């Protein structure tokens, strides 16, 4: 295939080692592989994360979890998102752990499991300031006891999530809220098997938020989620294509839809058969760069559904030459966080939106 995604599984193993060096030995690692492993490929990356030392995997939904079971991955799996009651039996059948957000869901889960003589594993989610899923901290001990009193439900953990790990003041307020929740359990002699809160950024910034486990996603794939000088994490993904056609245009000629690029002088244009349907954001039109012949070149004109254009003036660029949209070629490198700035988004979106239909080649030495 012309367009492909290269995945370096060695980098996943390296990144988990780097993350574990930040943790006390007893702290567990929950490897987040949601969103098709942030666009890297669910089953292959989940297997690499699990065999590289993660203690549990986390996914967005039940379909992802079942897919991992079908791929014969036996790791404990936590679903972070919503699971509809009609799927509760499948949850138990495949030994998958549910995030529990409210009492109504707990009652439905208990009843469904009792009906089929099954037991469900759950982690209680507490909303300490994200404003998304979760029980409020107020009354959490009472609600926890109500859930634990229900039959056919086994509580294996409790967790929360940061709203903005880059904001130390608000993050420490959230940490304090979660610490108060855990202190409330201690006061009532309630033993919580696993408490976790920190995702990648918080794992590196707030050691007090490590608790019993950390949930790392972005860090596994080579990014910190905040600006940092060259670190030890290694990017896992590269996105590559080839030049389909090279043409020359004159001064005053336009390139692409809506004529957003007008050549000020004669230039050499390379057409690349990759566009926004492949997950390369249209927001990168006229602002992004790619690598051709070991040098950075400008993306010009509007990015199309299945094509984009590059200014390769001055380069010995011909059809079939490799084009790197993300990754390295020679001494030149394009990182996802740089691309995210151009697109006015975050690294998570840049990685996870790469189309699952693109060929992924996995490399492991």
Annotated active-site positions, please?
34, 257
Question: Residue 21 is encoded by which pair of tokens?
Answer: 């060096």
Categorise residue 350: left if φ over 0, alpha if ψ from -120 to 50, beta otherwise.
alpha
Neighbour count for residue 261 (Cβ, 10 Å): 22
Neighbour count for residue 276 (Cβ, 10 Å): 20
Nearest alpha-carbon partner for 221 in 253, 241, 205, 199: 199
Residue for token pair 């690349």: 272
Cross-strand partners of 3: none
- DSSP readout, 313-352? TTS---TT-EEEEEEEETTEEE-HHHHHHHHTS-HHHHHH
CB 179 within 8 A of CB 143: no
Both ends of the chain: CA-CA distance in Å? 23
Categorise residue 106: left if φ over 0, alpha if ψ from -120 to 50, beta otherwise.
alpha
Q: Which DSSP state fits 142?
A: H
CB 35 within 8 A of CB 237: no
State the Cα–Cα distance between residues 210 and 285, nearest whole angstrom. 40
State the Cα–Cα distance between residues 185 and 141, nearest whole angstrom. 6
Distance of CA 309 to the CA centre of its chain: 28
Nearest alpha-carbon partner for 239 in 317, 324, 175: 324
Q: For the chain, how long is the longest CA-to-CA vector?
A: 78
Residue for token pair 């967005």: 60
Q: Which DSSP state fits 217?
A: S
Cross-strand partners of 237: 7
């Amino acid at each position: 295939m012309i367009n492909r995604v290269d995945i370096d599984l060695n980098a996943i193993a390296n990144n988990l080692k780097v993350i574990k060096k930040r943790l006390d030995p007893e702290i567990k690692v929950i490897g987040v592989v949601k969103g098709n492993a942030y666009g890297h490929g669910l089953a292959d990356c989940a297997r690499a994360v699990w065999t590289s030392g993660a203690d549990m995997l986390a996914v967005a939904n039940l379909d992802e979890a079942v897919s991992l079971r079908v791929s014969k991955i036996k790791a404990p799996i936590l679903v972070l998102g919503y699971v509809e009651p009609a799927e509760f039996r499948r949850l138990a059948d495949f030994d998958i752990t549910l995030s529990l957000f409210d009492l109504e869901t707990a009652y439905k889960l208990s009843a469904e499991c009792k009906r089929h003589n099954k037991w469900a594993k759950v982690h209680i989610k507490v909303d300490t300031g994200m404003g998304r899923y979760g029980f409020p901290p107020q009354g959490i001990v009472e609600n926890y006891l109500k859930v634990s009193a229900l039959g056919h439900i086994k509580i294996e953990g409790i967790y929360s999530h940061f709203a903005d790990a880059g904001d130390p003041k608000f993050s420490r307020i959230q940490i304090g809220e979660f610490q108060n929740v855990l202190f409330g359990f201690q006061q009532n002699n309630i033993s919580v098997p696993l408490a976790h809160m920190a995702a990648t950024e918080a794992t590196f910034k707030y050691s007090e938020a490590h608790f019993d486990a950390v949930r790392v996603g972005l860090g596994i794939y080579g990014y910190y989620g905040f600006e940092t000088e060259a670190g030890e994490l290694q990017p896992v993904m590269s996105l590559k294509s080839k030049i389909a056609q090279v043409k020359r245009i004159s001064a005053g000629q336009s390139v692409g839809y809506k004529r957003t690029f007008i050549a000020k002088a004669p230039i050499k244009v390379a057409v690349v058969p990759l566009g926004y349907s492949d997950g390369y954001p249209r927001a990168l039109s006229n602002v992004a760069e790619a690598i051709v012949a070991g040098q950075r070149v400008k993306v010009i004109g509007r990015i199309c559904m299945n094509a984009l254009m590059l200014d390769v003036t001055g380069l010995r660029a011909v059809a079939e030459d490799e084009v790197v949209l993300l990754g390295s070629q020679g001494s030149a490198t394009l990182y996802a966080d740089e691309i995210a700035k151009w697109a006015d988004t975050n690294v998570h979106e840049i990685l996870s939106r790469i189309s699952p239909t693109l060929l992924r080649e996995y490399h492991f030495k």
